[in-house]
Amino acid sequence: MMSASRARTIFLTAGAALALDQTSKSMALAALQPHVPVDVTPFFALSLGFNTGVSFGMLASDANTFRMPLIVLTLVIIVALAVMAMRATTLERVALSAIIGGAAGNLTDRIWRGRVTDFIDLFVADWHWPAFNLADTAITLGVVTLLWASLRRDTQQQAESDR
């Protein structure tokens, strides 16, 4: 695949993840009140919340101290992932691009709002998974796809070496 085609795949996939994330967050901000859940199903609600820290709210108490380092670190990771994506197979490129788009979505929140907007609440009875957003979903799906592609490649290599 030509370099321009690889870059187009990265840009379109990451751009789609970023656009879906930012659109859904704007809708959540417009329609929901903070910490007032709107039940959708017996295990899923929309509940507006904010994260000033990193994953699962870690470092939230030091949000001002870590805000700029988190922004810089995220930018470095995005660039590194883009370089990796340019060299990857098509499936891996799409997975890495989803991660890039998700990281860019949360980075956009961190830069413009000073915190990440979360609104998806999954739960069983009184146990709730930490609230998340579509950027987090894109990152998770990208990582799962990378793991699957790696396992698939390892299985194929093992089968070839057994011949």
**Residue of 21, 109, 118, 121 marked active site:** 118
**Residue of 21, 109, 121, 136 marked active site:** 136
Active-site annotation holds for 118: yes
The separation between CA 17 and the C-alpha centre of its own chain, rounded to angstroms, equals: 8
Which two structure tokens, joined as six digits, stand for 33?
A: 């009140």
**Nearest Cα residue to 82 out of 13, 158, 129:** 13
Active-site annotation holds for 136: yes
What's the pTM? 0.88
CB 119 within 8 Å of CB 30 = no
- Tens-digit pLDDT profile for residues 140-154: 999 999 999 999 887
- Tens-digit pLDDT profile for residues 6-39: 999 999 999 999 999 999 999 999 999 998 999 9
The separation between CA 104 and the C-alpha centre of its own chain, rounded to angstroms, equals: 8
Q: Where are the domains of the chain?
A: 3-153
